[in-house]
C-alpha cells in the first residue's frame, strides 16, 4: 500500500490539465500522474446554456467540483492522496451519441479502495436545455412498465437457461465448487431481475437505439466465476414508438433540438441563484422509483460542496432539500412551468428566506 501511494506521488508528471480537441465542440481536460495513471475528461463547448449546465453536472458528480474551480488540477479532489490511499487512479470518457437533441456518454474510472476496480457511469442529456434525461421522462408510464416486463423476462430467461445447463452431478473438486458457487450466485440474483425497477441500470443512447445495462450478479471476490457478466438490453427507437412519451418521441425519434417536457417536468439538473446573500449552484439527479435522488450545492465563493438529503413530495413539482451542515437548513422548492425553482431556504431556528433558482 505504501509503495503504491509513494509511486503515485513521485510519478506526478502533470498537474495542470492540457486541452486537446477530441471532436468538434468538445475539449479534453487531461492530466498524467504516471504511465498507468492518466485522466481525461470532457468539457463541452457551445453558445447556449446547455453545455454549461452539462459541464457543471458532470464535474459535480464525477470530479466533486465546479468547472474551472481548482488549485492545480480539476482532478485534485478525486485522485488518491498520500494519507488516504483510496481514490480514482485513472479516468476516461466515451461519447456514444451527440445528435441535435441529445448527448450520451460514459465516464470510465479505475478506483482504488479495498481493491482496484473498474466502473462506468452513463449520462444522457437534453441539448435543448442541458437537463439529464431519465426513463420516466422518455417513456409513458404504461410504456415503461411494458419495457420493464420485456427486460425482466429476457434477463430471467438468460439466468434460468444458464442454471439449467449446469451439471447436476458428476463434477468433482474445483469444478464442483465452481458449479455450487454459480448456482448460489445466480439463484440469489434471480429475484432482482424478476422485480426489476431499472433504477440502477445504465442508460446508453446511441443514434438509432437505446441500451439498458444492469450490473453482473457477482461480488468482487467471485467475479471470475460470473460467466454471464452484465445484462444489456437494446431497443431500436422505431420499435419503441408506442412506448415513448411525446417528449421521448421528440428527443429520440425526431431528434429535434427544441424538445421540452411540458407535460411531466422533473426537478433535476443544474440550478443557480442567490441563497442567504451567496451565489449557489444546486445539482440534483433524477429521482429513482422510490423518489430519492442525490443532491448537493456548491457555494460559488469558494466552490465548497454541501451534501443535501432530497425528499420528494407526492406532487413531483415539489421537493424538500435538507442541508447536511453543522447548522442544518431546509429548502422547500416548487418547479414552475418555466423551469425555475421557487420557494424558501430556512436555517434551523431561523426565518424562512424566499429564493429563486434557475
**Residue 157 grid coordinates:** 430467461
Residue 188 has pLDDT above 80, yes or no: yes
Mean pLDDT (the chain, rounded): 89
Q: Are residues 16 and 114 in the same domain?
A: yes
* Residue 223: predicted pLDDT: 84
Percent of the chain with pLDDT over 90: 70
Q: Does pLDDT of 263 surpass 80?
A: no
In this prediction, residues 213-238 reach a mean pLDDT of 92
229 in a domain, yes or no? yes
E strand segments, 128-268? 202-205, 209-214, 231-236
Q: What pLDDT shows up at residue 324? A: 81
Whether 148 is covered by a domain: the verdict is yes
Whole-angstrom CA distances from 244 to 137, 175, 239, 249, 269 are 9, 46, 10, 6, 21
Give dist(CA 109, CA 117) in Å, integer. 8
pTM of the model: 0.90
Q: Do the domain assignments include residue 262?
A: no
pLDDT digits (tens, 9 = 90+) for 153-165: 999 999 999 999 9
One domain, residues 148 and 115? no
In order of 286, 287, 304, 308, 334, the CA distances from 293 in angstroms are 6, 5, 20, 10, 16
Average pLDDT over residues 34-49: 91
Q: Are residues 290 and 341 in the same domain?
A: yes
pLDDT for residue 217 is more than 90: yes
Cβ burial of 347 (10 Å; 0-12, 13-18, 19+) is middle
User: Is position 188 within any domain?
Assistant: yes
* pLDDT for the residue 159: 97
Last residue of a domain, one of 204, 226, 253: 253
Range of the domain at 314: 269-357
In angstroms, rounded to a whole number, what is the distance separating the alpha carbons of residues 47 and 255?
A: 20
Residues 333 and 315 in one domain: yes
Per residue, the 3-state secondary structure of 97-118, as one string, reads EECCCEEEEEEEEEEECCCEEE
Mean pLDDT for 83-109 is 92
Amino acid at each position: 500500500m505504501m509503495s503504491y501511494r509513494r509511486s503515485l506521488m513521485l510519478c506526478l508528471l502533470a498537474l495542470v490539465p492540457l486541452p486537446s480537441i477530441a471532436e468538434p465542440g468538445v475539449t479534453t481536460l487531461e492530466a498524467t500522474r504516471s504511465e498507468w495513471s492518466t485522466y481525461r475528461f470532457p468539457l463541452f463547448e457551445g453558445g447556449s446554456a446547455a453545455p454549461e449546465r452539462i459541464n457543471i453536472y458532470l464535474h459535480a458528480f464525477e470530479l466533486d467540483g465546479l468547472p474551472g474551480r481548482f488549485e492545480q488540477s480539476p482532478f485534485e479532489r478525486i485522485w488518491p492522496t498520500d494519507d488516504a490511499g483510496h481514490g480514482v487512479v485513472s479516468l476516461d470518457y466515451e461519447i456514444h451519441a451527440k445528435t441535435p437533441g441529445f448527448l450520451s456518454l460514459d465516464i470510465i474510472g479505475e478506483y482504488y479502495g479495498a481493491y482496484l476496480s473498474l466502473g462506468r457511469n452513463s449520462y444522457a442529456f437534453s441539448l435543448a436545455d442541458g437537463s439529464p434525461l431519465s426513463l420516466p421522462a422518455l417513456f409513458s408510464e404504461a410504456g415503461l412498465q411494458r419495457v420493464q416486463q420485456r427486460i425482466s423476462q429476457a434477463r430471467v430467461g438468460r439466468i434460468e437457461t444458464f442454471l439449467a445447463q449446469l451439471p447436476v452431478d458428476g463434477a468433482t473438486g474445483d469444478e464442483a465448487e465452481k458449479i455450487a458457487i454459480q448456482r448460489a450466485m445466480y439463484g440469489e440474483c434471480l429475484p432482482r431481475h424478476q422485480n426489476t425497477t431499472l433504477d440502477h441500470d445504465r442508460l446508453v443512447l446511441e443514434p438509432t437505439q437505446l441500451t439498458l445495462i444492469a450490473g453482473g450478479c457477482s461480488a468482487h471476490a467471485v467475479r471470475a466465476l460470473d460467466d454471464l457478466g452484465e445484462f444489456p438490453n437494446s431497443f431500436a427507437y422505431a420499435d419503441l414508438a408506442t412506448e415513448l412519451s411525446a417528449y421521448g418521441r421528440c428527443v429520440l425519434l425526431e431528434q429535434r433540438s427544441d424538445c421540452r417536457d411540458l407535460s411531466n417536468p422533473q426537478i433535476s439538473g443544474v440550478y443557480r441563484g442567490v441563497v442567504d446573500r451567496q451565489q449557489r449552484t444546486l445539482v440534483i439527479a433524477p429521482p429513482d422509483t422510490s423518489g430519492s435522488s442525490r443532491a448537493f450545492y456548491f457555494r460559488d465563493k469558494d466552490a465548497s460542496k454541501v451534501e443535501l438529503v432530497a425528499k420528494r413530495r407526492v406532487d413531483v413539482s415539489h421537493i424538500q432539500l435538507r442541508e447536511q451542515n453543522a447548522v442544518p437548513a431546509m429548502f422547500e422548492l416548487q418547479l414552475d412551468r418555466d423551469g425555475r425553482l421557487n420557494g424558501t431556504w430556512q436555517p434551523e431556528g431561523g426565518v424562512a428566506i424566499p429564493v429563486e433558482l434557475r
